[in-house]
A and B are shown apart, each in its own frame.
Chain A
């Protein structure tokens, strides 16, 4: 009950910010439309709809990091969180209360991307459903990144670091906008040492029915999600104590 009340409040705070909807859903759909239109005129294999949609969907998840980090950092800067710390809410209520409401938003955003892709020519199959379900572990990684950033950064830093740096890094090193094999070298090695390209490859392999190929990528994503979650929880507890 306590967790539900706090989680409901967080959902309302996110969804009542119109910029959240514009950026998370609108921006992803516009990119999908735009790149599909380019692909129709200048064919590039990377922008074929079954390759592009997973990349755009994962790109949309980076906004979940921004939402959770912004909400937490803003709460930390106001006295509301201080007030809530004096209530019977426990540390786990706070952590789950911030994280759980973003999961359905991430799933809904991903489902909307795949649905739009179907209208743009993505063949409809059960694999789309599997790909949407697989968003669940991937979204945990992005939400944990938000919890981590929100716990250690102030609202301005969140805007700069999550809003600009993280979204760009996760986009450029995801293999969505350019073929990492063409770039090669250190950029490719860095990209494959980070989880973002693995998240995209995971979605691509599920969508294309190559289930065997998905496991190494899934392990990378789960590994990063676990480590990030541990750091995020520790950082949140640290700032909670500091408060």
Chain B
């Protein structure tokens, strides 16, 4: 069974097609990056796949569940770390983790167990009692990803997880993402070419709502005839104009 399979997935606004006839397949356990310039349709795609937005037409099946007819089942299998940091600022780190356990209906015992497990995995133990709103951007992102993993999702959506972070914080988050590779399917959107190249098994490039090309970083470089991934991205996007 594929982790994600989209079939002619389309999102149409009045005079804008944000996602246009997207046909995409993501295998179980792989890290798939979606790249594209602003307005390419990456976030809209993620919003449709995570049942935040209803498609105008087409469908997507996640682990066998349709985003149109099985939204409850889809929501049980996914975790989402949105583009902006999505934490409750007046709650402590521990309370944020427990909030996510609670909204997934975990028992008190499982709440404690999962919160402790994620705190250990993401090295949050030293800041458990700090209010989330007082943390640095890097730690907030780390907490945000930990919160997305509370429900033990089979598919994790990371929407520009390192946006605005300094080099060290970004490197730390890459380590976190690497540690998840192979265990769950990860869909990553990013503007950082290096990030996509280093972390991804496969990369899809979008432009104006359309999926231009899918391949490994090496395949995309070969296709564009360059050695640098960033040059390959520019060449492939400009070549589509």
Contacts and interface: CB of A to CB of B under 8 A. Distances in A.
Interface of A: 1-2, 4-6, 8-9, 12-13, 16-17, 78-80, 82-89, 243
Given A4-B102, A9-B91, A86 B50 contact: yes
A218 B193 CA distance: 64
A1 B104 CA distance: 9
B78 interface: yes
Contacts of A4: 102
Contacts of A84: 103
A13 B81 CA distance: 21
Given A5-B99, A5-B101, A6-B103, A78 B86 contact: yes
B104 A88 contact: yes
A86 B72 contact: no
A2 B151 CA distance: 13
Contact of B90 (A17, A87, A88): A17
Chain A CB count within 10 A is highest, among B87, B91, B98, B103, for B103
A12 B96 CA distance: 11
Interface string B79-110: 11111111110110001001111111111000
B35 interface: no
B148 interface: yes
A61 B76 CA distance: 38
A80 B88 contact: yes
Contacts of B86: 78-80, 82-83
Contacts of A80: 86-88
Contacts of A12: 90-91, 95
A87 B84 contact: no
Contacts of A6: 99, 102-103
12 contacts: A9-B88, A9-B91, A9-B95, A13-B90, A82-B82, A82-B86, A86-B79, A87-B104, A88-B72, A88-B76, A89-B103, A243-B52
A86 B80 CA distance: 7
Contacts of A86: 50-52, 75, 78-80
The 3 nearest A-B residue pairs measured at CB: A5-B102, A79-B82, A79-B86
Q: Helix, strand, loop or mixed for chain A's interface? A: helix
Contacts of A83: 80-82, 86, 147-148
Contacts of B98: 5
A186 B99 CA distance: 50
Contacts of A2: 102-105
Contacts of B76: 88
A79 B84 contact: yes
A4 B103 CA distance: 8
A8 B100 CA distance: 12
Contacts of B99: 5-6, 8-9
A79 B83 contact: yes
A8 to B, nearest CB: 7
Chain B CB count within 10 A is highest, among A6, A78, A86, A88, for A86
A213 B75 CA distance: 52
A16 B95 CA distance: 13
A51 B87 CA distance: 45
A89 B87 CA distance: 16
Nearest to B46: A86
Nearest to B150: A87
Contacts of B95: 9, 12
